[in-house]
Structure 1
Amino acid sequence: MSSMFLKPKVPAFTVPQPPEAMDVIIERAKELMVPLEVTEPLDCKQMKGLTLGLSGDHQFYNAALAVSLSRCWLQRTGNWEKVCQNDFQDSNLPDDFIRGLSSTHFSGRAQIVCDSSLYSDCSEIMSENCGELIFYLDGAHSPESIDACAKWFSNAVKGYKNPSHLSISVENTEESSENGHFLHESKALGQFENSSRLILLFNCLDVRNPNILLPRLVNGCSSSGIHFSRALFVPSMSKYTKVTSGASVIPSDLSGIELSWQFNLQRIWEKIVHGKEMTTLLEKDFKAESKLMLPPNEFLYDNPSKGCPSHNYFPSSAVIPSLPLTIKWLRDCVREHPSTRLQVLVTGSLHLVGDVLKLLKR
């Protein structure tokens, strides 16, 4: 919290901070005679059996801030008694608060979307002839948010293997999702036990440092026993100066697309995976008009210890010049391998996450 957000004698709220930061906040609060409250994370028992609408342990701190701020405003405006019931106790939350916290939705942050397009060729949603393509979307783009993303994704992937931790329902046989909670009925547990693949779909702005972001993401996941099978690096459709329409049409001419940044991300990734620099002529040899701009579908299923770098893909990563092309390729891979579940983490950029949501019609 910057001192610029502290106003004289106006209550302020924060969560536990690093000691040096907290010392500054406390000092400035005293100077400005600001009543300062350091909120502790919300106790899940206060939710009366419901879960937060936003997933991730850090959201319990955000929820506590929201509760403290709302309570303060209601008290100062004389509306607190209207919200609380007569038997309200300080350890409880008003029902209106609980409903608000449980129904909160934030697109692109800890969001899970099960792609329903795969079922268009199936007679029913639970068809044995369809694989699964699940997108885990989080626009994390800073070291701290990447850490939170890694923890959330790891827990979400583990939770998918245990349906008791998920909120599951089917509405008009269409896919739906909430932040971190499935609302889409899964296939029988164990059907994909030996054929699940964890895929990273990544891009970040060049003002970010992928040498920090990618290792922290990998280490955060691996510390929870979660390991990516493959990584895909693609350019975003939107930029900070331009927002795309979200049309899923694959550009007819891909030859002019600048991919040097994506190849740089790939080199960083391969160094993380192999522990050494990988010599490659990928960028030099890459030709967007060639059929080799896409790896073969077997790329997702082969043993990554086999094979040699070839054009735009290593055994463990690939650069693809178009996001719509990437989504189509993932769908084709699942259709051709019906027993497969692909769990794709999309992160590194809010632009990338937003573009994927638009392509998924979310």
Structure 2
Amino acid sequence: MRPSSVFLRHLLSMSFSKATSSCAGEFEEAVQALNTLQTNAVVLEKIKTERDKKRFLSIPETISQANRVGITLEDIDRLSVIHVSGTKGKGSTCAFTERILRCHGFRTGFFSSPHLVEVQERIRINGEPLGHEAFSRYFWECFNSLQKTKTTHDASMPPYFRFLTIMAFHVFLKEEVDVAIMEVGIGGEYDCTNIVRFPVVCGVSSLGLDHTSILGDTIEKIAWHKAGIFKPGVPAVTVPQPDNAIDVLMKRASEIKCPLYVAPDFEEYSWQESNHAALGIPGKMQALNASLALQLSHTWLENHHKCVEERTCFTGNNHGKISKGKILTVTKVMERGLAATSWLGRNQTIYHPDLTFYIDGAHTPRSIEACVDWFTEASAKEAKKLNKRVVRVLLFNMTGDRKAESLLDPLLVCQFDCAVFCPNIATWTLSNADQTNLTVSLNSQLEKCHENRRCFLSLLKPAVNSQQLSAQLGQTSEHVSYESEDSGIDSQRSSPEVETIPTFTFQSIQEALDWLSQDKDSKSRRRPNVIESAEHIQVLCTGSLHLIGGILSLTGTENIRR
């Protein structure tokens, strides 16, 4: 539920004495105030049309707003930063890196996005999200400083992500962390995290097509933005990339005078303690992220205590057109860090009686393919162990300017027995400020669900022409409502002319989960026979990190297993 406009005006006009109070404001009130910095859907569309003209202002505006909080570039220079960009895997890479360095005894700061359940997940100290009291205190210190200087600087408040970036720098300076791992938000060149002038090392994870309305519609344009975090003399490490992406990264590195290396294959490392590595984040693709994390942490350990001029870059063997990073002997401490790493919402399972949720926030074509590999293997292993009649259900949503077909098509190999679509709205009955998203309208979210479903059905039966499909879907176009037993379920069933599977759309995540988990004896919500006859249901939840966050906010994390 979104806060009322009256309440938002109240938050914006509240007394600045809150910053000096012992509690620095209640956590919920702080989150509500933070949400006022979100750009609403109408304004956001206007901003997108003007983005090319104003994107150059992002860095200077961030610097100016940081100054209003009392943070100078010289202050940020004191932080020992590892800066990571990329399309896929940058969060996991950062998580591995943070855990490795924490295992070495260093005090870590970690800034990431988006959050899944609560906003303080974005800013972590020693792997733990800020507590409610600490978040509130640091939030009001930054928020009130910016509010007080609006008039004197003839300036405005920063948008949501930029505010949290500035707040992260504020927290890391106050907490005196030994290392700050900073995950880029979108792109790199104009991302507000890029006010860091002297990182110790930079990383670029796997590249692909995402956020194309912002970064461009080719891998070359996206690579240009991601390489924007490179700095003169600062070593940078990437993973194997498509040739056209590597070419752009190398060109930018050469222009910036930044030494660039590619991380070795994970299998090339030797291990001090064992013959194999156990990774805390499941999934075959995590080996790529773990290798990048080993290179980043090793480089930081070698160089963090030196000034910029003294930092030395590791040398490696020639690897085609780009040098390969050092093939390390992974120490016991590094191995322990890799094994202890966890990253919520990525390749994880939540077990309930007769129901298993497989959750993964994959939202690019390549990450969906990796998700399919993980789900196929993990679900088959569980099904064999259960020795019951198991059915597979897809719970899906996607947002932004991504093409539904590119994400849904790779999922077809899973051979789902049923598909469910819902928006990233956790529930209509409870207020959860952490799940509030003002950047997209309700109607657009619901319409997106119907588009996703139509796309899924068209992929299932390519022979059906679009007019036939539209006619079929038009007959059941109402949203799900459970006011009475006979209220309409928005569904598409197979018919003699069309072979497909049952599909359903719901107005919230809560309604979808309730429908999936209801007792078989329940008469209030109709379910197809394939679900009713199942002895165990496996549900793959994917397509959006925000969807995963909504699921976790409702199910909790107590039953998660890696």
Q: TM-score, normalised by structure 1?
A: 0.68
Following superposition, the deviation at residue 290 of structure 1 comes to 4.8
Over residues 313-362 of structure 1, what are the superposed CA-to-partner deviations in whole Å (9 max), with x where a residue is unaligned? x8421112232122122112567769611110111111111011111112
Partner in structure 2 of residue 112 of structure 1:
349
**2:395 is equivalent to residue 201 of structure 1:** yes
Cα–Cα, structure 1 residues 293 and 55, in superposed 2: closer, same or farther, change >3 Å?
A: farther
Does the 8 Å contact 1:134/1:342 carry over to 2? yes
Contact kept in structure 1, 2:263 and 2:295, CA below 8 Å: yes
* Counterparts of 2:244 and 2:279, CA distance in 1: 31
Tell me whether 1:213 sits opposite 2:450 in the alignment.
no
Residue 40 of structure 1 aligns with which residue? 264
Change (3 A) 1:292 1:55: farther
| Cα deviations by residue, 1:209-229 (Å, 9 ceiling, x for unpaired) | 2132211332xxx2xxx3111
In structure 2, how many angstroms separate the alpha carbons of the residues matched to 1:190 and 1:238? 30
Match of 1:316 among 499, 502, 506: 502
1:20-73, Cα deviation, whole Å (9 max, x unpaired):
111122233233332222112312874644521112222111111111111111
Normalized per residue, the structure richer in helix is: 2
Q: What CA distance in whole angstroms lies between the structure 2 residues aligned with 1:287 and 1:191?
A: 33
Residue 93 of structure 1, aligned match among 330, 339, 363: 330
Q: Among 144, 149, 158, which residue is 2:371 paired with? A: 149
Flag as ranges the 4+ runs of structure 1 deviating above 6 A: none
CA distance in structure 1 between the aligned counterparts of 2:538 and 2:434, rounded to whole angstroms: 22
The residue identity in structure 2 corresponding to 1:244 is N
- 2:228 corresponding residue in structure 1: 4
Q: Secondary structure at the match of 2:349?
A: strand
- Residue of structure 2 equivalent to 1:227: 415
Matches within 5 A, 1:1-362: 1=204, 2-43=226-267, 46=271, 48-77=275-304, 91-115=328-352, 118=353, 132-161=354-383, 189-192=385-388, 195-218=389-412, 222=413, 226-237=414-425, 244=432, 259-275=446-462, 276=464, 277=466, 278=469, 279-280=471-472, 281-284=474-477, 288=481, 289-292=483-486, 315-332=501-518, 340-362=535-557
- What whole-Å deviation, never above 9, does each CA across 1:96-136 have from its counterpart, x for those lacking one? 11111111111111111112xx4xxxxxxxxxxxxx21111
Secondary structure of residue in 2 paired with 1:291 = coil
Inter-partner Cα distance in structure 2 for 1:107 and 1:98: 20
RMSD across aligned positions (CA): 3.5
Cα contact 1:199–1:342 (8 A) shared by 2: yes
Q: Distance in 2 between matches of 1:287 and 1:39?
A: 49
Counterpart contact for 1:334–1:342, Cα < 8 Å? no
SS at match of 1:259: helix
Structure-2 change in CA distance of 1:245 and 1:16 (3 Å): same
Does the Cα contact within 8 Å between 1:263 and 1:283 map onto a contact in 2? no
Taking the aligned partners of 1:40 and 1:360, their CA distance within structure 2 comes to 39
Go from structure 1 to structure 2 and tell me whether the alpha carbon gap of 1:74 and 1:258 turns closer, same or farther (over 3 Å shift).
closer
**Identity over the aligned pairs, expressed in percent?**
30
256-265 or 91-100, which deviates more? 256-265
Aligned pair in 2 of structure 1 residues 236, 292: CA closer, same or farther (>3 Å)? farther
Offset of residue 285 of structure 1: 5.0
Question: TM-score when scaled to structure 2?
Answer: 0.45
Decide whether the 8 Å contact of 1:111 with 1:137 is kept in 2: yes
Q: Give the 3 Å change call, closer, same or farther, for CA 95–232 of structure 1 in structure 2.
A: same
- Asked whether the equivalents of residues 41 and 63 of structure 1 are also in contact (C-alpha less than 8 Å), the reply is no
The answer to which of 61-70 and 200-209 deviates more is 200-209
How many Å apart are 1:260 and its aligned residue? 2.9
Contact 1:14 1:39 in 2 (8 A): yes
Question: Which stretches in structure 2 are left out of the alignment for 5+ residues?
Answer: 1-203, 205-225, 307-325, 436-442, 523-531, 558-562
Unaligned runs of 5+ in 1: 80-88, 119-131, 163-188, 248-255
Change (3 A) 1:284 1:29: closer
Shift of 1:207: 2.8
Letter in 2 for 1:227: Q
Structure with bigger gyration radius: 2
The 8 Å contact of residues 14 and 38 in structure 1, kept in 2 or not, is answered as: yes
Whole-angstrom CA distance in 2 between matches of 1:101 and 1:335? 45
The 1:190–1:150 alpha-carbon spacing in structure 2 relative to 1, beyond 3 Å, is closer
The offset of 1:306, in angstroms, is: 5.8
Q: Which amino acid aligns with 1:361?
A: G
Count of residues in correspondence between the two structures: 284
Counterpart contact for 2:363–2:544, Cα < 8 Å: yes
Distance in 2 (alpha carbons) for counterparts of 1:203 and 1:97: 36
1:282–1:292 Cα change, 3 Å: farther
Return the alpha-carbon distance in structure 1 between the equivalents of residues 510 and 496 of structure 2: 27
Contact 2:290–2:338 under 8 Å retained in 1: yes
Q: Indicate the SS of the match to 1:52.
A: coil
Deviation at 1:13, TM superposition (A): 0.4
